[in-house]
Amino acid sequence: MRASRKLAAGLAVIVAAITAAAYAGIRSATVYYLTPAEFASRPDLRGAHVRLAGTVLPGSVRTQEGRIVGFAIGDGTTRLDVDYDGPLPDLFGEGREVLVEGRSGGAALQATRVITTHPTEYQERPRR
């Protein structure tokens, strides 16, 4: 039985370590997921890492020497400016739904990542 005790102890240590890593990871990798209107009503989330879902507002895309450097997203009631000059998804465009991740600093959201909504594979996206 000594061998099984040793193995159990070793595995327990490993499982505990991975659980601790998972706990720490879930705390640090969790972002709030909001619409622009919800974000506007939550002043406590200024400066927090957030993910916002909204539509790219027509005419809001700002360019500099042909590169997109920013745009605004909205959800029908609230407009939020986004500063961003990283890679854009190929489905990006005015009127498209996007997810924007970043932190708000001042008036605009400093985005670190812009992605299109991943379709729930075989399910229709809800129509608006």
Partner 1 sequence: MAELGSFAILASLAAALFGAVAAVLGLRRADDRFRVAASRAVHAYAAFIALAASALVGALVTRQFHLRFVAEVTSADLPLLYAVAAFWGGHAGSLLLWAVVLAAYALAAQRTVRGDRELAPYVTLVMLGTGAFFSAALAFGSSPFATLAVPPPDGRGLNPLLRNPWMAVHPPALYLGFVGMTVPYALAVAALAGRVPPARWIRAARRWVLAAWLWLTAGLLFGAKWSYVVLGWGGYWAWDPVENAALMPWLTATAVLHSIQAQERRGMLTGWTIALMILSFSLALFGTFLTRSGLLSSVHAFANASIGPYLLGFLVLAMAAGFALLLRRLPELRRDARADVEPDGAAEAGQPIESPLDSVLSREAALLANNVLLVVGAFVVLAGTIFPILAELLTGDRVAVGPPYFTMTMAPVIALLLLLMAAGPLLPWRGGRGDELARRLAAPGAAAVMAGVAAAGAGVRSGGLLAVLVLCVFVAAAVGLEFRWGLAARPAGRAGAGAALLGLIAGNRRRYGGYIAHLGLVLVLAAATVSAAFATAAQGTLSPGQALRVGAYDVRYDAAQVRAAPGLRVTEAAVTVRRGDAVVAVLRPRHVVHEGRDEVTADVAIRSTWRDDLYVVLIAVSADGRATLRLAVNPMLPWLWIGALVMLAGGMVAALPRRRARAAGVHLYAERPAPVAGGDR
CB of 104 to partner 1, least distance (A): 16
111, 100 Cβ separation under 8 angstroms: yes
**Does 55 sit near partner 1 (CB under 8 A)?**
no
Q: Of these, 13, 91, 94, 110, which contacts partner 1 (CB under 8 A)?
A: 91
**Does 26 sit near partner 1 (CB under 8 A)?**
yes
Q: Compute the distance between CA of residue 94 and CA of residue 82 in angstroms, rounded to an integer.
A: 13
Q: For residue 64, which phi and psi values (nearest 5 degrees)?
A: -140, 115
| Complete DSSP assignment for 46-112 | TTS-EEEEEEEPTT--EEETTEEEEEEEE-SS-EEEEE--S---TT--TT-EEEEEEEEETTEEEEE
**Does 64 sit near partner 1 (CB under 8 A)?**
no
Q: Of these, 31, 37, 40, 108, which contacts partner 1 (CB under 8 A)?
A: 31
**Does 61 sit near partner 1 (CB under 8 A)?**
no
> What is the contact surface with partner 1 in residues (CB under 8 A)?
1, 3-4, 6-7, 10-11, 14-15, 17-19, 21-22, 25-26, 28-34, 51, 66-67, 87-93, 96, 101, 115-116, 118-124, 126
